[in-house]
Amino acid sequence: MEKKKWRKFIRDEKQKYPVSILKEKSAVIFEQLEKTEVFQKVSVLAAYWSLDDEVSTHDFIKKWYREKEILLPCIKGDDIVFKKFRGTEHLVIEEKYRIPEPDGEVFTELHKIGLIIVPGLAFDKNNNRMGRGKAFYDRLLPQLQAYRIGVCFDFQYFDEIPATASDIKMNLIIYG
């Protein structure tokens, strides 16, 4: 199956679950993530402010942002830059994709990011990731030396998905 068909299949699967169930699954995923050695050791991490159909990061970010420096992506043209999350009152809606992003200064010390939590439409047992097709993370991940944890719902995790040699693999995938 080609990537376009995979993306449609996953979108259709997500619609079968009420938001309440997806939130419960998200909580289980982040309980597992919090137990990882890499999370416990890092002081600067990058995450994402989740959309309704993604693994929900909101509770996780609000729980940890006072203890760890949490960076969120901001779309700038065809690229992602990071800004520090300082509370929900500092989120503004990005115009093109309508995604909440932190206000404030761009974080430029990418070498300090020890962990990045990566969303995706599908992941597989070989640690491959399939995104939404805009290639934002494909361009971003090679710039980072951070440990990469992909997060997804159980129905987004497969034995094998289409991948190319240029796709950046995750170090770990957590699903629930």
Q: Which residue has the higher pLDDT, 165 or 114?
A: 114
Each residue's pLDDT tens digit, 47-61: 999 988 899 999 999
CA nearest 141: which of 119, 156, 157? 119
SS3 for 24-62 is HHHHHHHHHHHCCHHHHHCCEEECCCCCCCCCCCHHHHH
Mean pLDDT (whole number) for 42-51: 97
Total domain count for the chain? 1
Q: Which of 14, 133, 144 is nearest to 71 (CA)?
A: 144
The more confident residue out of 109 and 75 is: 109
Q: What is the pLDDT of residue 61?
A: 98
- As beta bridge partners, residue 130 has 122
Categorize the per-residue pLDDT at 73 as very low, low, confident or very high, splitting at 50, 70 and 90. very high
Backbone angles phi, psi at 69, to 5 degrees: -80, 115
Residue with tokens 């951070």: 146
Amino acid 1: pLDDT:
65
Please report, for the domain that includes residue 129, its CATH number: 3.40.50.10420
Range of the domain at 58: 3-175
- pLDDT (tens digit per residue) in 90-134: 999 987 778 899 999 999 999 999 999 999 999 999 999 998 877
